[in-house]
Chain A
Amino acid sequence: MTRVHDMGGRFGDGPVVPEAEDAPVFAEDWHARALAVTLACGALGQWNIDTSRHAREKLSPKDYARFSYYEKWIAALADLLVEKGVLTRADLEGKGAAGLHKLAERALKAENVAGVLAKGGPADREGGPPPRFSPGQAVRARIPADNALVDGGHTRLPAYAAGAQGYILRLHGTHVFPDSSAHGLGEAPEPLYAVRFHASALWAHPEHPEDEVVLDLWQSYLEPL
């Protein structure tokens, strides 16, 4: 079964309300703080991007739906800090031990911010299994879309594509496999493909016969046809 974040194709959300091009980057000061605190905590090196995405996804469906964007970030960060043993529940209640943390020496310093942001965190890797598919080849996305390694675990195969037939558009190279990486099971890199699907393979009422959706899908999400 899917989680609440997997909303591609869902009905009932109403119109998209665009902001002006020159609207402030952060609508509220606390949005900027939430982003900065989250990035700074990531630099402590206690989790990876897949773990942090999963932490947001596994907020309860009620919280996920009622929280604004940066509330999700902060809630997931608090959960993750406790889950990874960086903070205790007592710390969050303001009753924790005083003094410097043992990870304090890893704290991101202002002078290193530009370098860390410029360096990024590339996801491509050497090795892994050889590519099984080539451009143009017909494939089917695995069904069900669940994480095959961990029950209820993180996956990047959206439910709307599960079971659909598509065509390999391009090979992106070999990338870290989030279904494994999110759960401390290793990077397990796999070939990653852009796969195009006709809208008619995904939706009962496509808007236009020529429209397509392209998803980036790992090799183990795909079966040959």
Chain B
Amino acid sequence: MPHDHHDDHSHALLPPDPALRVKALETILTEKGLIDPAALEEIIDTYQNRIGPQNGARVVARAWSDPDFKAALLADADPVLAELGLYGRQGEHMVVVENTAQQHNMVVCTLCSCYPWPLLGIPPGWYKSDAYRARAVREPRKVLAEFGVTLPKGCAVRVWDSTAEVRYLVLPARPEGSEGLGEEELAALVTRDSMIGTGLARQPGEAPA
């Protein structure tokens, strides 16, 4: 293997403490004009404050409310999402998969941490953890139980391992008792985990997790 440097990784030249390690690299790159500190702030602000699960929740609520929108979303999500301004980095090729009484969908990336950024933002720590990556494909029901989710016996689990540039969003089942709610009220029932498939949508009146 020509590109490995087992005893000689360049990163070992940086300080051992991770916060100092990032700072050191950032300082070197800034001094050389390779990164612009203002651009870093803009990136952080984007994913901290502007792009997150509220985007996906809006799409799910609309799909619950509008059968034509839902049909179009499930058939070919990309043009539908582009029209909503939800196209972008790590969401270039979206597929939306619907939970039904017969099939529960759940998303993982066993090889790294692929995740639909424009719809859900930056993945939570558990999604990137070794335990989730290792176990979600082999024992999804035990993993679901750790999230407090138990499926009926007749419901099959389909786990989507995001091995390519295709990103998956789960369309959770619309909760009972949500009839008559508007899109904004419905969106408040859609949790991040319900769009990854490790949770279900909240019941109306259920306290936020």
* Residue B198 lies at the interface, judged by CB distance under 8 Å to chain A: yes
From B3, B122, B165, B198, give the contact of A18 (CB < 8 A). Answer: B198
Q: Are A83 and B44 in contact (CB under 8 A)?
A: no
Give B81-113 as 1s and 0s: 1 = Cβ < 8 Å from A's Cβ atoms. 000000111111101000000000000101111
CA of A172 to CA of B43, assembled, Å: 30
Give A1-42 as 1s and 0s: 1 = Cβ < 8 Å from B's Cβ atoms. 000011111110111111111110111111011111101110
Q: Are A8 and B126 in contact (CB under 8 A)?
A: no
* A101-B32 contact given A32-B48, A156-B111, A207-B142, CB 8 Å threshold: yes
CA of A94 to CA of B20, assembled, Å: 13
From B34, B87, B113, B161, give the contact of A41 (CB < 8 A). Answer: B34
Cβ of A153 to closest chain B Cβ, rounded Å: 8
From A28, A79, A178, give the contact of B19 (CB < 8 A). Answer: A28
Q: Chain A residues near B36 (CB, 8 Å)?
A: 40, 107-110
6 residue pairs, one from A and one from B, having the closest CB atoms: A104-B33, A8-B110, A152-B1, A210-B156, A216-B164, A110-B38
Q: Are B137 and A202 in contact (CB under 8 A)?
A: yes
Q: Chain B residues near A59 (CB, 8 Å)?
A: 9, 11
From B3, B44, B47, B160, give the contact of A58 (CB < 8 A). Answer: B3
CA of A199 to CA of B39, assembled, Å: 45
CA of A82 to CA of B5, assembled, Å: 12
Q: Is the interface of B mostly helix, strand, loop or mixed?
A: mixed
CA of A75 to CA of B174, assembled, Å: 43
* Residue A185 lies at the interface, judged by CB distance under 8 Å to chain B: no
* A69-B113 contact given A39-B43, A60-B6, A83-B10, CB 8 Å threshold: yes
Q: Are A123 and B164 in contact (CB under 8 A)?
A: yes
Cβ of A87 to closest chain B Cβ, rounded Å: 7
* Residue A139 lies at the interface, judged by CB distance under 8 Å to chain B: no
Extra contacts, 16 of them, besides A49-B165, A214-B160, A217-B163 (Cβ < 8 A), are A10-B130, A22-B208, A28-B19, A35-B122, A36-B40, A60-B9, A75-B11, A78-B13, A89-B13, A93-B13, A94-B28, A107-B33, A120-B92, A123-B165, A175-B164, A208-B157
Tell me the residues in window 164-193 of chain A with beta carbons closer than 8 Å to chain B beta carbons.
172-173, 175-176, 178, 192
CA of A100 to CA of B35, assembled, Å: 11
* Residue B204 lies at the interface, judged by CB distance under 8 Å to chain A: no
Cβ of B158 to closest chain A Cβ, rounded Å: 5
Give A98-114 as 1s and 0s: 1 = Cβ < 8 Å from B's Cβ atoms. 11110110011110111
* Residue A119 lies at the interface, judged by CB distance under 8 Å to chain B: yes
Number of A residues with CB within 8 Å of any CB on chain B = 112
* Residue B121 lies at the interface, judged by CB distance under 8 Å to chain A: yes
Give B45-64 as 1s and 0s: 1 = Cβ < 8 Å from A's Cβ atoms. 01110011100000000000
Q: Are A17 and B126 in contact (CB under 8 A)?
A: yes
Cβ of B185 to closest chain A Cβ, rounded Å: 17
* A89-B10 contact given A37-B26, A101-B33, CB 8 Å threshold: yes
CA of A194 to CA of B34, assembled, Å: 39
* Residue B139 lies at the interface, judged by CB distance under 8 Å to chain A: yes
Q: Are A70 and B133 in contact (CB under 8 A)?
A: no
From B31, B35, B88, B162, give the contact of A108 (CB < 8 A). Answer: B35
Q: Chain B residues near A157 (CB, 8 Å)?
A: 163
In this complex, the member of A26, A44, A214 whose beta carbon has the largest number of chain B beta carbons within 10 angstroms is A214
* Residue A225 lies at the interface, judged by CB distance under 8 Å to chain B: no
Q: Are B126 and A18 in contact (CB under 8 A)?
A: yes
Give A73-87 as 1s and 0s: 1 = Cβ < 8 Å from B's Cβ atoms. 011111101110011
Q: Chain B residues near A107 (CB, 8 Å)?
A: 33-36, 39
